[in-house]
Chains A and B, each alone.
Chain A
Amino acid sequence: MSNLSSFLVRRATQYYPIRQIHLTRCFYNQRYFTKKHEWVELTDANKKQNEVRIGISDYAQRALGDVVYCELPSIGAKFKGDDTFATLESVKAVSDCYMPVDGEVSGVNEKLKNEADLINKSPYENGWLIQAIVDEKTTNDITKNLMNENQYSKFLETTEEAADH
């Protein structure tokens, strides 16, 4: 198979199951944001457990500047929403990242250990921070309590305006 066709098959198998699941369709691949500029998205709609992926927004990475070091939690660590789960150092400033929801860490982005600047280069893809298992109720709360992309960009406009005054 040529590179292109194998790529297309992989893409197709990657996305195919999503169309089958109506309940989570709206949620899957949709990113939700906190006011502290963390994002959360469901990683795989097929798993029994709800696993989410968490990172920081493009706005947040630009505000921080070049990230030089990233301290991530260990797998199995449990956090409540708003707890500090990761700490970043950028241009001599240390700042914390806060959990968008309650959850138990199921994976960390190992690449960041050597390439912390992936957070700057690709905040929504390669620069994700952790994955976490959340319960069913939390999954529902995400759509209810956090901002979707449209709401988040509106939120950014109003905060930026406020900062100008």
Chain B
Amino acid sequence: MKSILRGGNRVLISKSTNVYTNLALERYLAENIKHQPKTRLLLLWRNQPCVVVGRYQNPFAESDIKYLSEKQIDLARRYSGGGTCYHDLGNLNVTIVTTREDYNRKKNLHWIVNTLNEAFNLTLHVTDRDDIFLDTFKVTGSASRLERLYAYHHFTLLINSYLNDLRRSLKSEDQMKITSKATSSVRSSVLNLADRNNSITYEKTIALLIEKFFQWNNEKTTTSCDYIDPLLYYEHIKDFENELKSQKFLYQVTPPFVYTIEHEKQPIEISVSNGIITDIKGNDSIIDKKNFLGQLFHGVYHNIQKLNKT
């Protein structure tokens, strides 16, 4: 049981494909591993279809909430910054955990880019915003969380995702209705690595990353590599997992925003703070304010949509 938390250069591959479990596992490991200077933990994971928003984003502005629930695509908020991404089994998640002093996103990204370029004959490059592009197409972004003693940097690699589902899930009709200071995503054209070189698979990529990770960190053996089943650590990760799944963390921690709709050509402005409707500007004849004021926005979202349509 203890060995999962030992420090040093290590690779862990999660056997779970549940986004909440994996985000909880990532946070648990980052917080509890005995971090040693000049070493890295590489955590590899992937999820069933889901949309993951950044810590200070508005899920209504970033994704089509209604479509997600119809298609049973999970919605999650992560602890790190950055923009929204779509995950499925063709999108590999890479997390690199270090001490706070050793945190260096550029180093991590250049390692990945050089490794993939060499192995698969690609021309990936790292941008100023710490994204990875292939020509003009994005294959990943970056996000990170810095804590007192440790930091983690994570990103995905689009290997063979359903890009139509990605585009559809991230198409928000609410985007234009929302005014907010929340972090907004920079939308980019995306590309699967496998579409450029069809020999690239999920399995090949993780085998490559494991091998090259130990070389990068000057380790002679590749023995510190383990597949882990997060279920075995449920007692340790359940608090994070419950928080990640909670309506509170999904919706209520969204930065304050104003949601503007039109009803019979008259505007209605709904102010939301901590997920709760705090103010409504609009004609009383078109909106019964007392039914909405003080309510959770995500709880009455459906009713608000009805107002918008009639």
Q: Which residues of A contact B (CB under 8 A)?
A: 36, 68-69, 71, 89-96, 98, 113-114, 116, 163
A93 with B145: CB separation less than 8 A: yes
Contact B147 A96 (CB under 8 A): yes
Interfacial residues of chain B within 129-147, with CB under 8 A of chain A in the complex: 129-130, 141-147
B129 contacts A94, C-beta separation under 8 Å: no
Chain A neighbourhood of B230, CB < 8 A: none
In whole angstroms, what is the CA distance A93 to B151 when docked? 10
Chain A residues within 8 Å of B190, by CB: none
Q: Are B181 and A98 in contact (CB under 8 A)?
A: no
Q: List 7 A-B contacts (CB under 8 A).
A: A89-B56, A91-B81, A92-B54, A92-B141, A93-B143, A96-B146, A96-B148
Interface residues of B (CB under 8 A from A): 54-56, 79-83, 101, 105, 129-130, 141-148, 181-183, 255-256
Q: Which residues of B contact A94 (CB under 8 A)?
A: 55-56, 79-81, 144-146
Q: How far is the CB of A107 from chain B (nearest CB, A)?
A: 19
Q: Judging by beta carbons under 8 Å apart, are B148 and A68 in contact?
A: no
Give Cα A93–Cα B54 distance, bound, in whole angstroms. Answer: 10
Asked if B130 and A92 make an inter-chain contact with CB atoms under 8 angstroms apart, the answer reads yes
Bound-complex Cα distance A93 to B56 (A):
11
Could you tell me the distance in whole angstroms from the C-beta of A53 to the nearest C-beta in chain B?
A: 23
Contacts of B55 in A (CB 8 A): 89, 94
Q: A71 contacts which chain B residues (CB < 8 A)?
A: 56, 255
Rank and list the top 10 A-B pairs by shortest CB-CB distance, nearest first: A92-B82, A95-B146, A94-B81, A89-B81, A93-B144, A69-B56, A92-B81, A92-B143, A94-B55, A94-B145
Q: Are A91 and B148 in contact (CB under 8 A)?
A: no
Nearest CB to that of B82 among chain A residues?
A92
- Bound complex: CA A114 to CA B179 (Å): 12
